[in-house]
Each structure stands twice: as C-alpha cells, then as structure tokens.
Amino acid sequence: MRITHQSDIASSEITPPELWRRRREFLKASAAGVGLIATGGLLGSPGRVSAGETIPNIKPSPLSTDEQQTSFEDITQYNNFYELGSGKSAPAANAHHLKTRPWSVVVDGECDAPGEIGIEDILGGFTQEERIYRLRCVEAWSMVVPWVGFPLGDLLKRFKPNSNARYVAFETLYDPEQMPGQRRAVLDWPYREGLRMDEAMHPLAILATGLYGEIMPNQNGAPLRLVVPWKYGFKSIKSIVRIRFAAREPEATWNMLQPDEYGFYANVNPAVNHPRWSQKMHRVIGEGWFARKQETLPFNGYADQVASLYSGMDLRRHF
C-alpha cells in the first residue's frame, strides 16, 4: 500500500489539483537532477495525471457536506479499481491504458425508451452541480470528495422505466486490452453492481463525471461512475457502459464472490460487522495512519435522508 501521509507534505494539507501537479513535476524534475530554472517549462504546463480539463458552469449542491475535503492527491492516488490492478497505487499507475473517448452507455431492460447515450451528451446535458460527499469504502477508510455529478435519476427517467423495473443494474467496461487487471480472473468480470429502484431515484445517488471541478481522472472511474454515499464504497461502480432496468435483484460482483461478507444492500452500518472485522470505526484518509480512528455513522451520516428507504427491513439480514 502506498502511504502518502508521511512525506514532506503535511498530511492534513488540502492541495488543489493544479498546485499538486506542479509540485509533482517539480519533485520529478528535482529527482532527475534538473535544476529549478530548467523546470520552468514544466511548471508552466503541468503534466496531466488524467483528463484534468475544467468542467464549466458547476455550482455547489445543497446536499454537500461542509466537512473538510480530502486532498486531490489522496483521492486520485489511493484507489480501488481492480480492472487497473490490485493495490491502492496501481489504478493511478495504469490509468493511461483506459481510453475514455469515444464512450457511450447503453440503457435497456424494463423500460419504454431503451437506447444509448454518448458521454458528450451526458457531460453537456447533465453536469450542472458540484456535490461534495463522504465516500466510505469497505476497507474502512473515508474521504470527502468534491464530486462533479448529477442525480442518477435524471438520466434514468429519460429511458422511461416501466412498472416492472424494480432494480437497476450497472456494468463496467470489459476490455482486457485497456484494463490490464481483467487479464486475470481476480473478479468475475465485468464488474457489476445494482440498486433498488427507489435507491437509484434518491437525489443522493449520483453519477459523477469529475472531481475537484475537473473531468474525472481514469483511476476514479472515468468517464462516468456511480456514487452512493450512504453505502460502502464497492457499490460505487466505475467506468459504466451499461445500465439495465430489472425486475429482479441483479448480480453484484462482491456479493456474488463472497455473499456472507458483502450484502447486496451494503448500507454503511456500524452495528453489523463484516465477518472478519468490526465496522464501528474507520480511518480518515489525510489524517495519517496513526491518527485516531473515527466512529462510523449509520448510513455514513446520511440517515436523515435515506433511512426511510429501509423502514420495516431487518438490516442485519439485508446487510
């Protein structure tokens, strides 16, 4: 695992993307023995970690938390994206293999207007709000990411789900050429996830196209990924190419692999432990490995907004 917190950079420092890139270029140039003057060009045109383009006309969402944001560096260098390798630093290292243009998403299944939508239409038509959410992963860490995205429901409605549509299924691109991790059967590819229809229509379930005001870096799931902040991180499927309305609960990658460890719902729940570890506490990324852990809240702190979706359900059974 790569630890980004014990460098010369203060762990709590919140680094905007441009500044961070410039510092990376500077460090790279210094390591190569290139003097400060010679780095002028590099400093002027910082190397792109990924797409990095600014997304115009975004505004803060009223759903945003006011908690401190995790640094751009931590968000983009400490990832889970098995298609781009196992280990937290592999996705960033292999990100360049993934080509995100052209890109389109097929939407079909139980709906009256199935079809395909191109990423340019998605970017042009939906991305209006910047949303800041805590994203908590099942490995028990948390980040506050300023996602650029839009409600998943806005896209789903366009395809007119019919009355049989009780679930929504998602699939990631399958292409071992672009996704070196798929050359091995680490998971049952393609990565799949699903939500119940009412969960998918909740305004906190978003599709993200960027973060920190920029087009999504590949390692974070470019060009389009799900973000469901009240669920464990593995539900937030990356690099989506297919969305299907379904009558029955769809297959979900981790749930299929280890059903007793990863439930279909995967709502953040400190009262239900993972069979191999407690889920009561988590580490906050950016605070360092030795910082005190933080208490995990039911539904990751979004209980007021989402708990009613599950009223009457036994959340120990439907974990």
- Specify the residue, 22 or 88, whose C-beta has the smaller distance to ligand MTE: 88
Tell me the closest approach of the beta carbon of residue 160 to ligand MTE, in angstroms: 27
- Specify the residue, 39 or 267, whose C-beta has the smaller distance to ligand MTE: 267
- Specify the residue, 107 or 173, whose C-beta has the smaller distance to ligand MTE: 173
Pick the piece of the chain touching ligand MTE (CB under 6 A) from 5-13, 94-102, 106-114, 228-236. Answer: 228-236
Q: Cα 142 to chain center, whole Å?
A: 12
Among 172, 178, 209, 296, binds ligand MTE (CB under 6 A): 172
**Binding-site string for ligand MTE from residue 185 to residue 224, where x marks contact by CB under 6 A and - marks none:** ------x----------------------------xx---
Site size with ligand MTE, rule: CB under 6 A: 17
Contact between 264 and ligand MTE by CB under 6 A: the answer reads: no
Among 17, 153, 210, 233, binds ligand MTE (CB under 6 A): 233
Tell me the closest approach of the beta carbon of residue 70 to ligand MTE, in angstroms: 9
Among 137, 297, 303, 309, binds ligand MTE (CB under 6 A): 137
Residue 219 CA to residue 91 CA, distance in Å, equals 5
Record the tokens describing residue 248, joined without a space.
């029955």
- Residue 134: phi, psi to the nearest 5? -85, 130
HEC string for 165-205: CCEEEEEECCCCCCCHHHHCCCCCCCCEEEEEHHHHCCCCC
The Cα angle at residue 78 between residues 77 and 79, in degrees rounded to 5: 105
- Which residues inside 235-254 make contact with ligand MTE, applying CB under 6 A? 236-239
Residue 43: C-alpha distances to residues 35, 37, 70, 166, 213 (Å): 12, 10, 24, 52, 21
Residues 134, 144 contacting (CB under 8 angstroms): yes
> Is 166 buried (19+), middle (13-18) or exposed (0-12) by CB count in 10 A?
middle
- Specify the residue, 95 or 156, whose C-beta has the smaller distance to ligand MTE: 95
Q: Cα 240 to chain center, whole Å?
A: 11
- Specify the residue, 69 or 220, whose C-beta has the smaller distance to ligand MTE: 220
Give the three-state DSSP class for 143. strand
**What's the sign of the alpha-carbon dihedral 199, 65, 12, 72?**
positive
- Which residues inside 47-106 make contact with ligand MTE, applying CB under 6 A? 79-83
- Specify the residue, 144 or 306, whose C-beta has the smaller distance to ligand MTE: 144
| Interface residues toward ligand MTE, by CB under 6 A | 79-83, 135, 137, 172, 191, 220-221, 233-234, 236-239
